[in-house]
Amino acid sequence: MPSSPIRKLVPYAEAARKKGIKVYQLNIGQPDIETAPAILDAVRRADFKVLEYSHSAGHERYRRKLADYYQRSGIDIRYDQIIVTTGGSEAIRFGFMSCLDAGDEVIIPEPFYANYNGFAVEAGIIVKTVGSSIESGFALPPIEEFEKAITPRTKAIMICNPNNPTGYLYSREELEILKQIIIKHKLYLFADEAYREFCYAGEHFSAMKLQGADEHVILMDTISKRYSACGARIGAFITRNKQILDTAMKFAQARLSPPTYGQILAEAAVDLPADYFDATKAEYQKRRDLLVSRLNAMPGVFCPNPGGAFYAMARLPVDDADKFCQWLLESFAYNNQTVMLAPASGFYADRSKGVNEVRLAYVLNTADISRAMDCLEKALAEYNR
């Protein structure tokens, strides 16, 4: 199993804190947005004498409400086409293990969410990549690149839209191109849409809206980032392909059921008012604008403007981002403060790529982001001396 580039530096951050240094954590997508009190209250009010297993697919009442949520987003899904999962991570595992056998291949544009690597190792499958570059803002590679990567063992293509780690927002036109490929080559399309509510450069177009691709598309989703409820561990595995759904149910039954308290919270979240996301989205956009402008004002730093999610990838004037990120925590402080970043090499299948890139999560308030950028600017100057 590969180490997580997001969490592997945690021991160094803990050591820095023990020395009294304030660490601004931009390495992990843990929002500081307050979880809606109404959904926490739903858990507090839960009243039962026995904390039972739920159905392996999740409580039916929650799945019916979740289907209504997708219907409001223009996605025509029934409750019995949804399996509630233990976080979005389990939905990805279910997809890998239901659609691919050991030795099969999944194509993923890189850089990609680092844990896809780990899930592939668990499932015994091989990640093949098509490259996107920071110079193009991580736009989807040309269709020819996908065609060249396909072999007899290829069974699926995976995208994250909006993207983690790059923040890139795939357009409807790009998804239509992917539809041509998956139909032509009889592949599955895994669509991780964890950040669907946070799009700044256009509207989100779900892969579930692709006409004529019902048997090919599997949606993986989660409430973690949507409602700032990462600890609830509630996600969803969704497809109109009954055979795949039946196969995934075997894995769902093997782990018995998703968490009951998390489902209670998630069900209450679906009932939040329609304008709930307006303020959150505006706050993230404000943070993005500050972060990107500060980064691009630093000598030698380049950061494309992300179209969605709450991540940005930046190229730094350093020789090795892994060493630099560790140095930030071990050996640097400015006004008794430092910043924690995620080295980008872990977001590539080829570890020789992204060596001078980092991922930053703009999940802190603007005052903290400003102080973190002050630290980073000072650190770059000192490191390069």
- DSSP string covering 51-101: -----TT--HHHHHHHHHHHHHTT----GGGEEEESHHHHHHHHHHHHH--
pLDDT in the model for residue 6: 72
pLDDT in the model for residue 346: 86
Scanning the chain, the segments in alpha helix (DSSP H) are: 10-18, 37-44, 60-72, 87-99, 115-123, 143-149, 172-184, 242-254, 260-270, 276-296, 321-330, 366-384
Q: Which residues contact 246 (CB under 8 A, 6 or more apart)?
A: none
pLDDT in the model for residue 325: 96
pLDDT in the model for residue 90: 98
Which residues in the chain show pLDDT less than 70?
A: none
- Which structure tokens are listed for 236? 């969803």
Dihedral (Cα; 349, 352, 356, 358), 10-degree rounding: 20
Give 218-240 pLDDT, tens digit per residue: 999 999 999 999 999 999 999 99
pLDDT in the model for residue 47: 94
pLDDT in the model for residue 349: 85
Q: In whole angstroms, give the CA distance from residue 141 to residue 144.
A: 8
pLDDT in the model for residue 296: 98
Q: Is 322 in a helix, a strand, or coil?
A: helix
Q: Which residues contact 45 (CB under 8 A, 6 or more apart)?
A: none
pLDDT in the model for residue 29: 87
CB half-sphere exposure, 240, CA atoms < 13 A: 16
Q: What would the CATH number be for the domain defined by 37-270?
A: 3.40.640.10
pLDDT in the model for residue 274: 83
Instruction: Please give the CATH superfamily to which domain 10-34+276-384 belongs.
Output: Aspartate Aminotransferase, domain 1 (3.90.1150.10)
Cα 98 to its chain centre, rounded Å, is 21
Domain residue ranges in the chain: 10-34+276-384, 37-270
Strands 105-110, 126-131: pairing kind = parallel
pLDDT in the model for residue 202: 87
Q: In whole angstroms, give the CA distance from residue 66 to residue 97.
A: 24
pLDDT in the model for residue 309: 96
pLDDT in the model for residue 8: 81
Give 30-46 pLDDT, tens digit per residue: 899 999 999 999 999 99
If 0-12 CB within 10 Å is exposed, 13-18 middle and 19+ buried, where does residue 131 land? middle
| CA nearest to 115, candidates 38, 4, 30, 25 | 4
